[in-house]
Chains A and B, each alone.
Chain A
């Protein structure tokens, strides 16, 4: 799509989209939303980039290797945080029982491990979406 309007608007919109996604991820524990919705937003921003600027440029920005690592890394983060609960004499994914500080209800830094889990999920979802999209597009172009 070699349309100047689309390109400029996309350049403008993508940072806001991603910022909004990050916002949703970080506020997952105190408002509706969370890792999945936020991750989906970030992922769709990347899809938008791919649509507008083509696969090759998108691949340079967010290569296959990076997305592979991000995919594994997001879920590994989740697992690691969950396993911390076991290490701290609780169960898997233990929050309060394992001694994580819950903080004050309503503030950003609260909810123990939940924000961290949300970040993990967000990374995973965003990278999975973009990987799937790239895979599908490349299959067609082959």
Chain B
């Protein structure tokens, strides 16, 4: 029965998405309760799978029992189990938030649709992480990008449509590039199953290097476009800032990470470390990551809209993960995975707390945050915590990421990137600190001296607090994550 759990998760998610439209629109509460129950069940099973693969080892799931040469295959190993667990945990917490803050620009008629999209999103992400097949990844990726795009355009505003259009177009280009890479690999190996392709690529690497080089380029650039790696981040700031608060958190914290996870799979499971090192891809990735860290922060400084600023900050933080991947060592990958967690949590907190501010006061301008800390101490307090994490102050998970990334870079003989980490910390401070200072130390015209309560629904403040607690927990005792991440890293051979 345990072997069936992954597919049961997928079916459950898809079925829920299909069942929601069958409910009457008035019974919105039913939808929410059903959604939460399903999410909780999937969460439990993801947790159990994580425990299972870490104790008894990885296993395959074959659709219809066909052999992997022609059939589809899911691979559940510590890596995929860990990231499905990450995705579902974070999404469940953000879901709780979204139940209270669904009003952020979404028409009442669309509430049900929003949750349908959320479930299809989750379904696609689970599929991407579980699947062991390149073409299947493509299909799930397309489902994911359409769904994401629909979530962006669910707010009926001018900017949302433009952002969604740009998103869908660039993502489609990314997907097609990826598919082109798959086709080139299929041409020389004859398979789409990742492990078989890996074998084939190693065999034909000497005979058809051109095919493999072009495949690698197209796949990496395509995924880079979808993962918003620096010069290809064009769509991200608009898309993430236009989306409703809770979905901005989902997009920045989870969805972008999923593409990075595919990138890791493609680099280390499909091509293998020897080929990508021979192609100098790691050093290229490192340079791109470093440039992204600096430029993302540099653009973030200039933003007036706080959600756009957070979007650019995501671009910078993705640079960290790319840098970690580019180190192409188990230390580097370990910290890249850790940062997926760390940034996921921190960015959710940032987006959600900003969402709470927008919910209560409708403040989107960076300069409008004067004295807001007295009116919403909990939200802005958590914002502060996460922002300090972004800067890299100890006791937050951001410090652990930065510290270990520095160690990994130096260990891999790339000590120059430590300077990038420092520069990024300072740049992050330049745009986060004024907001915090204004929020807590500047006077507001309303002249609030005394701290008052947040006055937002409990369901909104609870998720922020839970995630904020996570920042500190995994920042103070990172072994919780590192133990899991280490077993995930060990599924890749270096």
Contacts and interface: CB of A to CB of B under 8 A. Distances in A.
Direct contact of A and B (CB under 8 A): yes
Interface of A: 68-69, 71-72, 75-76, 79, 82-83, 85-86, 90-95, 97
Contacts, number: 45
A91 B62 contact: yes
Nearest to B1: A86
Given A72-B19, A72-B22, A91-B7, A85 B14 contact: no
Contact of B63 (A69, A71, A76, A91): A91
A85 B3 CA distance: 13
A92 B7 contact: yes
B22 A69 contact: yes
17 contacts: A68-B21, A68-B22, A72-B18, A72-B21, A75-B14, A76-B15, A83-B11, A86-B8, A90-B64, A91-B7, A91-B62, A92-B4, A92-B7, A93-B64, A94-B64, A94-B65, A97-B65
B3 to A, nearest CB: 8
Given A97-B64, A97-B65, A92 B11 contact: yes
B135 to A, nearest CB: 16
A93 B8 CA distance: 12
Q: Interface of chain A, helix or strand or loop or mixed? A: helix
B61 interface: yes
Interface residues of B, number: 15
Contact of A86 (B7, B14, B19, B22): B7
A35 to B, nearest CB: 16
A75 B7 contact: no
B65 A90 contact: yes
Interface in B1-59: 4, 7-8, 11, 14-15, 18-19, 21-22
Interface string B252-280: 00000000000000000000000000000
A65 to B, nearest CB: 10
A83 B8 CA distance: 9
Which of B7, B11, B62, B65 counts the most chain A CB atoms within 10 A?
A: B65
Contact of A76 (B18, B64, B65): B18
Nearest to B18: A72
Contact of B64 (A68, A71, A83, A91): A91
A75 B21 CA distance: 13
Contacts of A94: 64-65
Q: Which 10 A-B pairs have the closest CB atoms?
A: A93-B64, A72-B18, A97-B65, A92-B7, A94-B64, A93-B63, A91-B65, A94-B65, A86-B4, A68-B21
A13 to B, nearest CB: 32
Given A79-B11, A79-B14, A86-B4, A92 B64 contact: yes
Interface string B356-374: 0000000000000000000
A12 B410 CA distance: 76
Contacts of B65: 90-91, 94, 97
Given A72-B19, A85-B64, 12 more contacts: A71-B18, A75-B14, A76-B18, A79-B14, A90-B64, A90-B65, A91-B7, A91-B62, A92-B7, A92-B11, A93-B64, A97-B64
